[in-house]
Amino acid sequence: MSLMKKVLIADKMSIQAEKVFSANGINFDKKIGLSEEEICKIVNEYEAIVVRSATKITKKIIESGNKLKVLGRAGIGVDNIDIEAATNNGIVVMNTPFGNSITTAEHTISLMMSLARNIPQASKSTKEGKWEKSKFMGTELFGKTLGMVGCGNIGSLVVERCLGLKMKVLVYDPFLSKDQTEKIGAKKVELEEILKNSDFITLHTPLTDKTKGILNKNNLSKCKDNVKIINCARGGLVVENDLIELMNQGKISGAALDVFSEEPPTNKKLFNVDNLILTPHLGASTSEAQENVAIQVAQQISDYLNNDIIINSINVSPISPEDAPKIKPFIDLSLKLGKFGGQIIENTISKINITFKGEISSLNTKPLIANVVAGIFSNRMESVNLINAETIAKQKNIEIISSFQTETSIHTSEIHINISTADEEFNYAGIIFANNSRIISIMNMRIECEISPNMLYILNNDKPGFIGSLGSLLGSKNINIANFNLGRTGKGQAVSLLELDQYLDDSIINDLQKLNNIKKVKALKF
């Protein structure tokens, strides 16, 4: 029996992946279109599975693969991989976040030009034997304003190309600093200005609780007349029925969608709008991109299987075998602490200061620092991971400072975090207690609270009756409070952390914001 590692290629991809595996001494089987049951029957033969978007790597598959060490996605998304199940089973999940950036950026430009000159409609008309030259009067891109919602790697490439077309570019991205935005040749603005002043609007942001439906009826109604919308990012960013309604009203003169809330799209209304261009998720569909992501994912898997090198991992930070037993308890804590601050802070971050106190200060804290930064970014950046988090921070001119203190006031080990923006400082700290991640202070107020899946953060004026009114409102909404934790300065300010049985939607948060003495309220998810 061969001792060589073996990989299952479960989706169609470039033959270059096979060549990389062979060059690294790794065997592979190419079996396309297998069902979940069929994969479960053979998965024990493999140390790795590589997919694109078609095959779903489910919890059942993961738990059936006793030899599985790594799952690789040739592309940016990992929606088809059960990351939680993989993590629980000690399996590394990798993707290739930058392999199809150019291709997606170019598709965005293609759709924008198609919108400007009515190319698909004109082509269809001409093929039908018509000569409707006047019907398809277009518009120049020269001198027009492009509004961009989200500006990561793909967005910055779109900016570069639009500047070459002599367009003006406005960018809304809370994680991109003003200096960094100006460096790429764009202007940093708020969403309202994007809506008000853009001739074209393009989306380059992940789908999160905050970005879902960001172009809804309300926001689309605020747009400049005759605006054109392009979405090559994620389905669900644009509310499709709202878009159709405003297009039929003439408010929006055109739109181009490469992604949909359901794929293939089932919303038949989309097919009856003449000035709506639809493409079947072609953002990454070029031979060059397919080769790039195939080569990258195959090399990453090979490096891990042969040398334990972890690159572009979604769920695992690089930790040496020597440090693993000591660091492991703090991996969960550092990530959750990052997510905590990242969900509360909305403004552009300029500095993240992380202080390790006590016994932890003598350990290899590099993976913990990466965890904190990744957690802070994770709420709004799909491609962030424990490997590239600090690189992304550097690109955005965010200063990461780490310091160490051998002594603590109470606990054996503590992690203290201070997040700075232009307008505020937010500090908090956490510990491991009884193998659980806990918050121990917020804004210098002592508070003891386990970090739970669904939480509510409240900063308020310390006045009588507040807790009663809070409890009454949540009770009226049938929201059960699992735990209620309080902290106060003694100077008129208090903080509350509630553990809840469910995540609160925006309507309930809006109602909470109307309570007397509320200064800030945030629904948190971990």
Per residue in 188-200, pLDDT tens? 999 999 999 999 9
What is the rounded average pLDDT of the residues 378-395? 75
Between CA 142 and CA 153 the distance in angstroms is 24
What is the reported pLDDT for 145? 98
Q: Residue 2: is its pLDDT beyond 50?
A: no
Burial degree of 336 (CB within 10 A; 0-12, 13-18, 19+): buried
Distance of CA 174 to the CA centre of its chain: 13
Q: What is the pairing mode between strands 70-73 and 168-172?
A: unpaired
Distance of CA 369 to the CA centre of its chain: 19
Instruction: Identify the three-state secondary structure at position 278.
Output: strand
Between CA 95 and CA 104 the distance in angstroms is 16
Q: Residue 88: is its pLDDT beyond 80?
A: no
| pTM: predicted TM-score of the whole model, two decimal places | 0.73
What is the reported pLDDT for 317? 66
What is the reported pLDDT for 21? 97
Burial degree of 419 (CB within 10 A; 0-12, 13-18, 19+): buried
Q: What is the pairing mode between strands 92-94 and 436-442?
A: unpaired
Q: Residue 22: is its pLDDT beyond 70?
A: yes
Instruction: Identify the three-state secondary structure at position 111.
Output: helix
Instruction: Write down all domains in the chain, each with its CATH number in brackets.
Output: 6-99+288-314 (3.40.50.720), 101-278 (3.40.50.720), 317-442 (3.30.1330.90), 452-526 (3.30.70.260)
Sequence-distant (≥ 6) Cβ neighbours of residue 236 within 8 angstroms: 207, 212, 213, 261
Between CA 214 and CA 248 the distance in angstroms is 20
pLDDT digit string (tens) for 34-87? 999 999 999 999 999 999 988 999 999 999 999 999 999 998 878 899 988 887
Alpha helices in 118-174 (DSSP H): 119-127, 153-164
Phi, psi for residue 30 in degrees, rounded to 5 = -105, 105
Sequence-distant (≥ 6) Cβ neighbours of residue 513 within 8 angstroms: 521
Q: Would you name the residues annotated as active-site residues?
A: 234, 263, 281
